[in-house]
């Protein structure tokens, strides 16, 4: 499943893993693009699986003529050993019948590589927010018990709210409360499965609508940076945008707001 | 979101579908059996001819000795190879891939020995048996793509293999800061794996354009397994087989794999091309 670039397989033990969920607005994927681009992270391997729809393109983070023709696949792992930071970028949706298999694949990869913490960046439909979620910050978090044992109440101290549960049967009192993350892709089930498997996992998600979701990616990344101090900043955001994002900016300027069709290495449209 | 009449309408997303019923929840043995049958029906079957099957069985690692694999995906790419490569020399059918999906014209039950419809055909020449051409003009579903690449490339010895893919793509899928109307169509763009060292015959596919389908599955496999591979994707505004689009592929003649195979423009090639395009023209009797 994980195939290293070259012959040497990197050691991920005790590293932090950051990965996106393919979710509304592709915000998690855009945020991961931002992280990889800002830290200039090298690709160390591929997740070669039949669970994701195949897709290839040229390097979206290329900064030179030479690197602009390096092939990228649908799921790649980037790693900075000196920061003990691994990032999995997922660039295409899961094959419809293989979503569960994919979650299990990633879960067992996390377990076998003994990452110290895993962080899932995700998003949820803003139009499905309930009254409590309509005001204040659009950011929310979830954490497994194992993650809480490691980081304590750090996320709360950073003024982040835990994702509220919703009644299983709205309007009926004393009904069971459940997690509901509409538009979140694999987020909810992955979180539940990580809880059952005792994996330290935190989910950071943002409520958003589809459109130009670069601002949401920055919001998510800025919070993550506030927590983990990944990129040096001096009051201004120094997160570097991938070079392919300029096409998105041009397309948004020239298209009417109602049109949602947008190009990005982080999305695959059919 | 609420509409004017107060009803709630689900918004569509480019990233995620509406949450489907989770597979596995509330499934009984009958459901699982149906699912297994469906998966079996959708399997990709690779069948080699007798010669290749013998070679396959007698090799120590159950692989074929192929040095050049050329894959044409789409009518124009296949038409190019039919007119300019397969028209000369003694090419014979070496094998085929058969598969079934929702867009197949034939049901599995009507097929003969091979399940599904023979949809991708392999050809090789007696005088050069290490070169294999594959023409694929059928629809391969998203859950079959990985299997397709895995089965084809998994059965070939990787050590000295080089892969060339020619593929058609609608120009509507091409993203550019310029207006598409300002770009002369059709045009070629290339993608290559890390280990492919030859010069490209055209410019590289710029970001944020991506490639999907069989070309993506094959290139991904080659990238992961360090096989030199190149894709030449032709962006065209014509959906069907078209001589102008076919001739665009002639730019790939400077690629070493194709230079050995493709004959310069001959009368026979042009005749075959003309016949192929005529066969595909929809005759309209609206004004007759």
Which residues from chain A sit within 8 angstroms of residue B208, using beta carbons? 57, 60, 244, 247-248, 263-265
Question: What integer pLDDT is reported at residue B109 of this predicted model?
Answer: 46
Torsion of CA A30, A156, A140, A135, to 10 degrees: -120
Largest Cα–Cα distance of chain B, in whole Å? Answer: 73
Nearest CA in chain B to A266: B208
CA distance linking residue B191 with residue A54, whole number of Å: 15
d(CA B214, CA A82): 38
Give the ipTM of the model, two decimals please.
Answer: 0.86
CA distance A255 to A262: 10
DSSP-derived secondary structure letter, A269 = -
Give the residues of chain A that fall short of pLDDT 50.
Answer: 234-237, 249-270
Q: What is the pLDDT of residue B35?
A: 84
pLDDT tens digits, residue range B26-62? 677 888 888 888 888 889 999 888 877 777 777 777 7
Q: Write down the pLDDT at residue A186.
A: 92
Q: Which residues contact B134 (CB under 8 A, 6 or more apart)?
A: B69, B70, B71, B72, B120, B121, B122, B123, B152
CB of A158 less than 8 A from some CB of B: no
- Predicted model pTM: 0.87
Contact A182 B19 (CB under 8 A): yes
Contact between A203 and A111 under an 8 Å Cβ cutoff? The reply is no
CB contact under 8 A, A69 and B204: yes
- State how far the Cα of A123 lies from the Cα of A20, in Å rounded to an integer: 9
Q: Which residue of B has its CA nearest to A264?
A: B208
CA distance A58 to chain B (A): 6
Nearest to A95 among B143, B150, B220 (CB): B143
Q: What is the pLDDT of residues A135-180, one digit of tens each?
A: 888 999 999 999 999 999 899 888 888 988 887 776 666 677 888 8
Q: Which residue in chain A is spatially nearest to B223 when comparing CA positions?
A: A71
Dist. CA B285–CA B272, nearest whole Å: 25
Q: Check residue B11 and give its pLDDT.
A: 65
Residues of A in contact with B200 (CB under 8 A): 69
- Residues A22, A186: contact at Cβ < 8 Å? yes
Nearest to B112, CA basis, from B163, B47, B167: B47
Residue A70, min C-alpha distance to chain B (Å) = 6
3-state secondary structure chain B: CECCCCCECCCCCCCCCCCCCCCCCCCCHHHHHHHHHHHHHCCCEEEECHHHHHHHHHCCCCCECCCEEEEEECHHHHHHHHHHCCCCCCEEEEEEEEECCCCCCCCHHHCCCCCCEEEEEEEEECCEEEEEEEEECCCCCCCCHHHHHHHHHHCECCCCCEEEEEEEEEHHHCCCCCCHHHCCCCEEEEEECCCCCCCCCCCECCCCCEEEHHHHHHHHHHHHCCCCEEEEEEEECCCCCCHHHHHHHHHHHHCHHHHCCCCCCCHHHHHHHHHHHHHHCCCCCCCC
Residues of A in contact with B211 (CB under 8 A): 55-57
- Do A267 and B14 count as a contact with CB atoms less than 8 A apart? yes
Q: Which of B208, B213, B221 to mutate to test the interface with A (most CBs of A within 10 A)?
A: B208
- A127 → closest Cβ in B11, B142, B211: B11
- Closest-CA residue of chain A to B228: A71
Which residues in chain B come in under a pLDDT of 70? 1-12, 17-26, 105-118, 263-268, 278-288
**pLDDT, position A66:** 63
């Amino acid at each position: 499943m994980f195939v290293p670039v070259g012959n040497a397989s990197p050691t991920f033990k005790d590293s932090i893993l950051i990965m996106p969920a393919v979710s509304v607005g592709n915000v998690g994927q855009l945020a991961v693009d931002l992280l990889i681009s800002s830290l200039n992270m090298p690709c160390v391997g591929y997740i070669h699986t039949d669970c994701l729809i195949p897709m290839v393109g040229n390097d979206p983070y290329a900064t030179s003529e030479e690197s602009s023709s390096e092939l990228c696949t649908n799921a790649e792992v980037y790693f900075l050993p000196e920061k003990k930071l691994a990032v999995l970028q997922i660039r295409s949706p899961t094959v419809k019948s293989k979503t569960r298999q994919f979650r299990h694949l990633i879960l067992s990869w996390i377990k076998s590589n003994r990452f110290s913490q895993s962080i899932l960046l995700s998003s949820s439909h803003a139009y499905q927010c309930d009254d409590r979620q309509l005001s204040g910050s659009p950011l929310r978090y979830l954490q497994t018990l194992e993650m809480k044992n490691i980081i304590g109440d750090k996320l709360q101290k950073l003024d982040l709210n835990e994702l509220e549960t919703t009644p299983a049967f709205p309007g009926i009192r004393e009904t069971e409360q459940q997690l509901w993350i509409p538009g979140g892709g694999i987020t909810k089930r992955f979180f539940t499965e990580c809880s059952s498997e005792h994996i330290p996992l935190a989910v950071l998600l943002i409520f958003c609508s589809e459109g130009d979701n670069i601002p949401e990616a920055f919001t998510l990344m800025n919070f993550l940076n506030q927590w983990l101090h990944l990129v040096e900043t001096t009051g201004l955001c120094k997160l570097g945008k991938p070079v392919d994002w300029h096409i998105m900016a041009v397309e948004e300027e020239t298209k009417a707001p109602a049109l949602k069709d947008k190009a990005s290495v982080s999305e695959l449209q059919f | 979101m609420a509409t004017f009449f107060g009803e709630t309408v689900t918004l569509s997303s480019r990233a995620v579908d509406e949450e489907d019923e989770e597979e596995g929840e509330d499934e009984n043995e009958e459901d699982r059996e149906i699912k297994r049958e469906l998966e079996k029906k959708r399997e990709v079957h690779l069948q080699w001819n007798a010669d290749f099957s013998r070679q396959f069985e007698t090799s120590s690692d159950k692989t074929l000795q192929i040095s050049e694999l050329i894959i044409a995906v789409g009518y124009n790419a296949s038409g190019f190879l039919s007119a300019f490569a397969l028209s000369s020399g003694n090419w014979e059918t070496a094998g085929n891939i058969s598969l079934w999906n929702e867009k197949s014209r034939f049901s599995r039950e009507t097929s003969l020995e091979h399940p599904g419809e023979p949809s991708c055909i392999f050809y090789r020449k007696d005088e050069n048996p290490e070169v294999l051409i594959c023409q694929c003009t059928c629809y391969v579903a998203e859950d079959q793509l990985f299997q397709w690449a895995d089965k084809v490339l998994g059965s070939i010895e990787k050590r000295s293999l080089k892969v060339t893919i020619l593929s058609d793509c609608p120009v509507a899928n091409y993203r550019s800061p310029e207006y598409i109307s300002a770009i002369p169509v059709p045009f070629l763009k290339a993608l290559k794996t890390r280990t492919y060292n030859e010069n490209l015959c055209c410019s590289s596919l710029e970001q944020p354009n991506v490639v999907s389908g069989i070309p993506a599955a094959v290139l991904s496999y080659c990238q992961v397994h360090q096989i030199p591979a190149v894709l030449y994707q032709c962006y065209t505004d014509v959906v069907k087989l078209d001589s102008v689009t076919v001739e665009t592929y002639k730019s790939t003649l400077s690629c070493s794999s194709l230079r050995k195979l493709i004959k310069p423009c001959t009368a026979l090639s042009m005749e075959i091309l003309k016949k192929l395009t005529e066969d595909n023209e929809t005759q309209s009797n609206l004004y007759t």
